[in-house]
Amino acid sequence: MLDLTLPLRGFGWRRIPGAAYMLAVLAASFAAISNSFVDGTNLANIGMQSTILLLLALPMTLIIMTEGIDLSMGAVLTLASVVLAGIAVKTGSVALGLLARWRLVAAFGFANGALVAWMGLPPFVTTLGTLGIASGLALVITDAQSITGVGDNVVFFYAGSLAAFPCRC
């Protein structure tokens, strides 16, 4: 006889975080209020918009679990986007912009890691400093103006799709 309860051993409703319950309550409430909430198009839209936050939240979870913090993530993301758009506008090469963006992000990550691990600086102070550096560089590069003239190739990486899968770089 096949025992179907085996995977459920050790399962307890208390092990589910409170945020999961709240998410279920919100989803049920929105579905009850609006018929279009459970529509496939809306659920796909929610999924696409959540991917960027999920890709940022997962590493941050690991950092927080190791008793660290990274305050500079949003500013470095902004600077990386400015560098990508600026290089793509100046040179017309999205590939060069992507390469520069990935190198920039790696450099900031290495600098944060080196200052915390090798120099023994607190993560809060280190990442607060790199937040200021990244924000300042983004303002200097753009002269506090929007970057215009970004081609369709750059827009594809933020809003395009490839084989029915959204592209998010």
Query: What confidence tens digit (pLDDT) does each residue in 140-149 have?
Result: 999 888 887 7
Spatial separation of the C-alpha atoms in residues 116 and 20, rounded to whole Å: 33
pLDDT at 119 over 90: yes
- Residues near 101 by beta carbon (within 8 Å), at least 6 away in sequence: 80, 81, 83, 84
How large is the average pLDDT for residues 132-153? 86
End-to-end CA distance of the chain: 49
pLDDT at 168 over 60: no
- Half-sphere exposure (CA, 13 Å, Cβ side) for 112? 25
How large is the average pLDDT for residues 107-127? 94
Q: Which candidate, 58, 52, 59, 60, places its Cα nearest to that of 78?
A: 52
pTM, rounded to two decimals? 0.70
pLDDT at 99 over 70: yes
Mean pLDDT across the chain: 83
What is the reported pLDDT for 114?
95
